[in-house]
Structure 1
Amino acid sequence: MISLLASNPVLPSPFLGYKLSSGNFKRLAPNRVCLAPRNFKAKCTMDTSYGGGNVSKFPRSSVWDPYKRLGISTDASEEEVWSARNFLLDQYAGHERNVESIEAAFEKILMTSFLKRKKTKINLKSRLKKKVEESPPWVKNLISFVELPPNVIIIRRLFLFAFMACWSVNSPAEGGPAFQVALSLMACMYFLYDKTKSLARASIIGLGSLVVGWICGSCLVPMIPSVLIQPTWTLELLTSLVAYVFLFAGCTFLK
């Protein structure tokens, strides 16, 4: 019987999992099956690590704290978080459980950072609102005249007055850019009338913005160093540039 088995290396099912050695049967380790003769080196099939190959298991996969799992501090910057995540993914690539554990910690850190930034913005708005409510009555009345329009309106009006400023600089006149200032004033009054539906209110705010801007420009322009001013730029031109800023602010943010 033993000689018959030695001559035929393919064992029938009752002997599957046994190896002949010196006439005795020896039980192999679980999950190993030898199908080669005793004169050859046996090649056995063995279980590999989960996820593939010889990739080692991530040692901190069971750590609950996502920062400790990635091996970084709680005050790490966003660049450090990304670097730690990429480094660990490269080191433990090919192991599904490792990748899932690393990505879960990374996503949890990003979500925590997002919620913290969102909460900070909400707190700033609440604090600002509280400061306004605690301010004196005259401050509240002054703030009630100010509004923040949509970004599209701000950009359009900023482009218009910037065009007027460039036109004034590129087409200087002896008496100053009177025509461009007049057009800017009419545009400011039009925008105010479209918003308030009151011609008187639009005229007062528009003229007031021009007067305040012209006065501020007359006071600020002489303080600018002469090396920063082109020789062709007159006092009237520089003052009109300041007035454009006040006209833009008046028709955009006042109501």
Structure 2
Amino acid sequence: MTDFTPYKKLGVTEDASFEEIKDARDRLIVELDGDTPAQELVEAAYDAILMDRLKARQEGKIKVPDRIRFPEKNITTSPSILQPVASPAKLRWLSESLDRPSRKDLVTYTCTFAGLLALSIFLPASNSIWMAIALLASIYFLKSKENRFWRSLLLALVGLVIGVSLAVGLLPLIIHGFSLSISTAIILLVMWLVTTLLR
């Protein structure tokens, strides 16, 4: 029996790195171009070495580097020059404040505020009642997301104040015959946005 091992066939030692083994195989394949049986022997030796290494790793004879065992821990991205650096507290606050409602919730919010808008257009004499119902609906929907009443009340009131401010600011630009319905629509739109996009 000969002392011929796959390592000797590739011309590497048993403690050679994977890159050295791969380079030796590639070099021999190029050198043996046209000699298919010899190339197959090189490939067989390469496969035998890989299987030998796999068996040794499974038996614990070869220590696997942590960068190979846990590749997800080594993922590092270099920050782009154009990206602003934000502190984690700011990002956490922003991500905790914004909401992506489900389709069912979105339909519920939209139908509620659209219904209130339709009522305010067809029954304009009761606009204050529709605004009060919109405020209560906004508080209810916001509270159902986080179960925090005071925060929900504050967000709903901020939405109402912003809506009223926008409506009053845009009042001179609005057609005189429709000023009440358009200002109501602006207020309800802002309250719908607050209810839908914030938690």
TM-score, reference length from structure 2? 0.52
Q: How does 1:17-28 map to 2 (within 5 A)?
A: none
Q: 1:162 to 1:135 in 2, by over 3 A?
A: farther
Within the candidate set 209, 213, 218, 2:168 is matched to 218
Aligned equivalent of 1:182: 132
- Bigger Rg over Cα: 1
Q: Indicate the percent of aligned positions where both proteins have the same amino acid.
A: 21
Match of 2:107 among 155, 163, 171: 155
Aligned twin of 1:34: none
The question of 1:207 aligning with 2:157 is answered yes
- For structure 1, the residue ranges without an aligned partner over 5 or more in a row are 1-129
1:220 Cα offset (Å) = 2.1
Give 5+ residue unaligned stretches, structure 2: 1-78
In the alignment, what sits opposite 1:137?
86
Task: Check 1:135–1:143 CA distance in 2 against 1; reply closer, same or farther (3 A cut).
Answer: farther
In structure 2, distance between residues paired with 1:179 and 1:145:
29
Aligned residues: 117
Per the TM alignment, residue 160 of structure 1 is displaced from its structure 2 partner at its CA by 0.9
CA distance in structure 1 between the partners assigned to 2:157 and 2:172 by the alignment: 23
CA 151–201 in structure 1, closer or farther in 2 if over 3 Å, else same: same
- State the Cα distance separating 1:155 from its structure 2 match: 1.4
In 2, the alpha carbon distance for the partners of 1:219 and 1:247 equals: 17
Q: How far did 1:223 drift?
A: 1.9
Give the structure 1 partner of residue 197 of structure 2.
253
Gap change, CA 1:136 and 1:178, over 3 Å in 2: farther
Deviations 1:200-244 (A, max 9, x none): 1010001110101110111123223x3xx6x3x3x3432221111
Secondary structure of residue in 2 paired with 1:134: coil
Name the counterpart of 2:34: none
Who is 2:118 aligned against?
Answer: 166
Structure 1 pair 136–180 and aligned structure 2 pair: CA distance change class (3 A): farther
For 2:166 and 2:85, locate their aligned partners in 1 and report how far apart those are by CA, in whole Å.
27
Q: Deviations over 1:151-203 (max 9, x none)?
A: 22111210110010011011122xx6100000010010011111111111010
CA distance in 2, matches of 1:170, 1:158: 18
1:197 aligns with 2:147: yes
One-letter amino acid matched to 1:150? S
- Please give the alpha-carbon distance, in whole angstroms, between the structure 1 residues aligned to 2:86 and 2:163: 26
Structure 2 match to 1:53: none
Instruction: Give the helix-richer structure, 1 or 2.
Output: 2
Deviation at 1:146, TM superposition (A): 1.1
Flag the 1:222–1:194 CA change in 2: closer, same or farther, 3 A.
same
CA distance in 1, matches of 2:84, 2:198: 20
TM superposition outliers: structure 1 runs of 4+ over 6 Å? none
Equivalence map 1:1-255=2 (5 Å): 134-135=83-84, 137=86, 140=91, 141-173=93-125, 177-224=127-174, 226=175, 231=177, 233=178, 235-255=179-199
